[in-house]
């Protein structure tokens, strides 16, 4: 007997994902490629189910990966999440009416797991996200903002030593683009005792991210508000 397989109804029940969503992920975005019976019915392998479960978990509780583990474990998890991230990043549809997002870690910041997961969360909510990743040179940011009509910049900082440099970067971006909005996250900002831009720091608990999205992102803000 071969490896165990599941019907689409079984997978939907196991993961709490509607069958219509599973079909859309397969047909439109190639999230998984289930086997087929001679009659054309889908048969999902355990690997297929694991991929779908991983995707659902990332957008539901991304902060479970932070705050513990050795450097080797962190490196392994970064590689694993990065591989899965690029596999699933284009899975979700884009809603053109939403502000376009730029996601990056500033120069000197090499840890991008938090940024990866928050970007995936934003994509799940329909945002178009331009992902630049870790250690992004400042000179390349401004042309992208201008040419791509970026309305929201996500910055991730894990080290408190980089906060001042990052705050200065925010100030320079605001000088060029006064109506820009920001999202500031990860351990550096979460631990900041006197942040320069507290209004833009994301909630530490990812369970509050959805309420932030509905309050701050889905609602168009008036020009000049900071």
pTM above 0.75, yes or no: no
Q: Indicate if 129 and 69 belong to the same structural domain.
A: yes
pLDDT-derived band at 1, boundaries 50, 70, 90: very low
pLDDT score, position 45:
93
What percentage of the chain exceeds 70 in pLDDT? 83
Domain around 46? 5-58
Q: Indicate if 67 and 29 belong to the same structural domain.
A: no
pLDDT-derived band at 223, boundaries 50, 70, 90: very low
pLDDT score, position 222:
46
- Domain count along the chain: 2
Q: Indicate if 16 and 98 belong to the same structural domain.
A: no
Region of poorest pLDDT, from 3-12, 28-37, 189-198:
28-37
Of 23, 18, 24, the residue nearest 36 (C-alpha): 23
Residue 150: its H or E element: strand 150-156
3-state secondary structure of 24: helix
Residues 6+ apart with CB under 8 A from 115: 103, 104, 105, 131, 133, 134, 154, 156, 185, 186
Is 60 exceeded by the pLDDT of residue 19? yes
| Residue 208 lies inside a defined structural domain of this protein | yes
Residues 6+ apart with CB under 8 A from 7: 41, 42, 43, 44
């Amino acid at each position: 007997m071969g490896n165990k397989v599941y019907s689409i109804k079984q997978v939907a029940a196991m993961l709490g994902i509607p069958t219509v969503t599973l079909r859309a992920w397969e047909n439109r975005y190639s999230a998984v490629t289930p086997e087929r019976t001679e009659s054309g019915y889908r048969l999902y392998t355990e690997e297929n189910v694991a991929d779908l479960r991983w995707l659902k978990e990332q957008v539901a509780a991304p902060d479970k990966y932070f705050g513990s583990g050795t450097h080797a474990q962190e490196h392994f998890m970064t590689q694993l999440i990065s591989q899965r991230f690029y596999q699933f990043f284009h899975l979700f549809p884009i809603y053109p009416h939403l502000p376009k997002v730029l996601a990056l870690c500033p120069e000197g910041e090499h840890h991008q797991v938090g940024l990866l997961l928050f970007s995936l969360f934003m994509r799940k909510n329909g945002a178009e996200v331009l992902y630049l990743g870790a250690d992004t040179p400042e000179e390349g940011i401004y042309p992208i903002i201008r040419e791509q009509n970026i309305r929201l910049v996500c910055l991730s900082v894990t080290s408190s030593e980089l906060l001042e440099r990052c705050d200065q970067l925010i100030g320079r971006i605001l000088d060029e683009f006064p109506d820009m909005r920001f999202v500031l996250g990860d351990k550096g900002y979460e631990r900041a005792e006197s942040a320069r831009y507290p209004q833009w720091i994301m909630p530490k608990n990812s369970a509050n991210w959805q309420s932030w999205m509905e309050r701050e992102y889905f609602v168009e803000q008036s020009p000049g508000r900071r």
